[in-house]
Structure 1
Amino acid sequence: MIGLQISFMNMDIAIGLFTLGMMALAGVVGFIVYAKMSEDQRYTDGRVNKIGVLNLVELKDDDDVLTQEKKKRRKKQSDKSLTVRIENWLFEELLAADIMMKPEEYMTIWILVFFVPAGIIFLFSQNITFTLILLVAGGVGPYVFIKRQQNKRRKIFESQLCDALMISTSCLRSGLTFQQAMETIAKDMEAPISTEFARACSEINFGSSMDKALSDMVARIKSPDLMLAVSAVSVQRQTGGNLSQILETISNTIRERIKVKADVSAVTSQGRMSGLLIGALPIGLGLVLNLINPEYMKPMLETSIGHILLGLCVVLEVVGFLAIKKIVDIKY
């Protein structure tokens, strides 16, 4: 009788998870349908508002179009719904990661990855532990993927930055302006640096100032090397000086920083791998034991003392991970 009650309870939980997943999927499908119905109009209005063409007559002489528009967006930020804020945040993250998907499309995949694997595992195995693990992995995985793509793109960008600065130096010494040097980088170099410089040139052509366009590029890439170069350009535009010589010096500095990064990465690779293996070993061993002999792991998973020990293990795992990361993360 007790076993039958437990089976019915597990079935109720499974039905509840399945229903919740279907409700979430229906909500996302409805959101996509709404987005598709008004996609063209919203895209046109968004581009016009971003450029600021509708409010061009009302601009002051000391403000550019994008600056005025962003000030108005900040005032309206409190009036935006949570859905619009999430969509805007996800759009910026996907743009920085160079993932060519719409926010609603990626959100659909995110929700499916969150619910479907965990629901299937629970329906067939009724293992709550693996269900919770898959729920956590499905919820965190898409965000981790975005961040990994951003870091990968940032590394490629930083490896191209030295050559881009040298191209700018050559263009300036030949008599071209810095904006023309930016256009040369956008035409002659490969992605992602060509994409970012082309986007900055487009913003300048649409009315934004050069300083603002470069600052937006720094906000997208989040690279300290790019921030150094952009700061130097901004200071030179305000105070004057030999910009070609400044960019050449910054290019040499960034090249040396890249060499130091490579040396540090090689020296600390063993420590990072050791930390990864030591941190993953208890988790992997616990999963294997739970698969091979579930009765052996029941006291750990079903008793209050076992729950306390599991919580202590999690705390120690996090402390050990942070300690190893602090050791191998060298600032330079």
Structure 2
Amino acid sequence: MGMIAYAVPAAAFIGVLLFFMGLSGFFAPSASSVEERMRAYAGPQETQKKKEKKKKAQRRELDPFATLSSDVEDKRFEARVQRSLARADLKLRVSEYYYIRIGLAFGLFLVVGIFRGFLPMGLVAGVIGYFLPRLWVGRRTGARLSAFNKQLPDTISLLSNSLLAGSSFLQSGELVSRESQPPISIEFGRVVREVNLGLGMEEALANMVRRIRSDDLDLMVTAINIQQQVGGNLAEILDTIAFTIRERVKIKGDINTLTAQGRYSGYLVAFLPVAIMLALQMINPDFMSPLFNETIGRILLGVGGVMMAVGFFMIRKITDIEV
């Protein structure tokens, strides 16, 4: 009992510390994009390596978790996670992102499992807390992609009009970064900075496609790259692409309207039985106790949960129509 009395506060301290270390990276002012690009293009010079080693040594003295930070960032999945954070426009290192996930998992486990005395539910809460930031990053990425796609047709028209006025494509990109709203202004601003730092236009646009992963943007960039290789009227090409994207958006809106009933039926199939079960548990716990305490009840719960999940994903698959 004495060990538990010390272990719980220690675990709480570690969880809170990790959580706030991750948040500090989110709210702290990050290095400018120009400095980041300069470091990326500096190349594997010996002086650069020495500077990096010195910085790591200093950070290890200041940060007791610097070893964990370096280990996490050196793994293969680091680039994939960093791309996910970049798509969500989050100024976080991979280690800071995992500090938040681990700290939140610790915190929910302690609150639900230790302090409230429900250890199994505490484990479930800890798992949920670990994956909550990932879900939030996914939703933020989806919202940013949706906003980007909505802005793209007007942006393409702006590029076309600027080209017709005699501006170069780079000057047109600068105009978009100044006159448009985020997130599209941010992305075109990055393209302009990359080109000004010496990167080719084709590669800078490819980087934007990797960050955004939009089919409409990929179509625009492909057309621009082909025009730069074989020639042609880029303004006219962009006008055609803008018209195509607007028609695609219109068709998607019509499909979403027609499939709305099916999508909400899927949510009803998945969540209505859970809501009824929770309501009955609150109204009459004795009536629901065999479902949780007896073997046959647990089997029925598992089978019902699997069937609801299968039904939900089948309905989602049917209503998810690609355009």
When normalised by structure 1's length, the TM-score is: 0.76
Partner residue of 1:229?
220
Q: Quote how far apart the aligned CAs of 1:257 are.
A: 0.8
Tell whether the 8 Å contact from 1:166 to 1:251 is kept in structure 2 after alignment.
Answer: yes
CA offset digits 1:106-150 (Å, max 9, x no partner): 433323322223321223443345434423331222111111111
CA distance in 2, matches of 1:136, 1:157: 32
Q: 1:51 is aligned with what amino acid?
A: Y
Q: Pick from 85, 88, 96: which aligns with 1:97?
A: 88
- SS of the equivalent of 1:176 reads coil
Q: CA deviation at 1:29?
A: 7.2
Q: Indicate which of 172, 183, 189 corresponds to 1:181.
A: 172
Q: Give the structure 2 partner of residue 50 of structure 1.
A: 40
1:241 maps to 232
Partner of 2:191: 200
Match of 1:271 in 2: 262
Indicate how the Cα distance of structure 1 residues 256 and 18 shifts in structure 2: closer, same or farther if over 3 A, else same: farther
Which TM-score applies when normalising by structure 2? 0.78
2:143 maps to amino acid:
K
Residue 216 in 1 paired to residue 230 in 2?
no
1:113-132 counterparts in 2 under 5 A? 113-128=104-119, 130-132=121-123
Counterpart CA distance in 1 for 2:140 and 2:275 is 26
CA contact (8 A) 2:18 2:100 kept: no
Candidates 243, 249, 253, aligned match of 1:252: 243
**1:32 deviation in Å?**
9.3
Counterparts of 1:245 and 1:20 in 2: how far apart (Å)? 63
Tell me the secondary structure at the aligned position of residue 327 of structure 1: helix
Which residue of structure 1 lines up, in the alignment, with residue 153 of structure 2? 162
**In 1, Cα distance between the equivalents of 2:10 and 2:284?**
32
Contact 2:22 2:99 in 1 (8 A): no
Q: Is the 8 A contact 1:97 1:149 kept in 2?
A: yes
Which ranges of structure 1 fall in alignment gaps of 5 or more residues? 1-7, 56-79
Equivalent residue letter for 2:42 = G
- For 1:128 and 1:156, locate their aligned partners in 2 and report how far apart those are by CA, in whole Å: 42
Rounded to whole Å, the distance in 2 between the matches of 1:234 and 1:311 is 53
Which consecutive residues of structure 2, in runs of 5 or more, have no partner in the other structure? 46-69
SS of the residue corresponding to residue 322 of structure 2 reads: coil
Name the amino acid aligned to 1:84. Answer: D
Please say if residues 169 and 248 of structure 1, whose CA atoms lie closer than 8 Å, have aligned partners that are also in contact: yes
Residues 300 and 136 of structure 1, relative CA distance in 2, 3 Å threshold: farther
Q: Secondary structure at the match of 1:181?
A: helix
The aligned counterpart of 2:140 is 149
Corresponding residue number in structure 2 for 1:281? 272
1: distance between equivalents of 2:126 and 2:6?
Answer: 16
Structure 2 counterpart SS, 1:314: helix
Partners of 2:93 and 2:204 in 1: how far apart?
Answer: 23
Partner in structure 1 of residue 57 of structure 2: none
Is the 2:109–2:122 contact (alpha carbons within 8 Å) kept by the matching residues of 1? yes
3-state SS of 1:256 partner: helix
Listed as ranges, the matches of 1:23-34 within 5 Å are: 23=14
> How far apart, in 1, do the equivalents of 2:12 and 2:144 lie?
33
1:291–1:21 Cα change, 3 Å: farther
Q: Which residue, 295, 303, 306 being the options, matches 1:312?
A: 303
The aligned amino acid for 1:165 is: I
Post-superposition Cα deviations, 1:195-245, rounded to whole Å, max 9, x if no partner, equal 000001111111211111111111111111101111111111122222111
Q: Which amino acid aligns with 2:122?
A: T
246-255 vs 170-179, which moves further: 170-179
RMSD between superposed Cα atoms in Å: 3.5
Contact 1:14 / 1:123 at 8 angstroms: preserved in 2? no
Residue 71 of structure 1 is matched in structure 2 by none
Identity %: 34
Stretch deviating more after TM superposition (99-108 or 310-319): 99-108
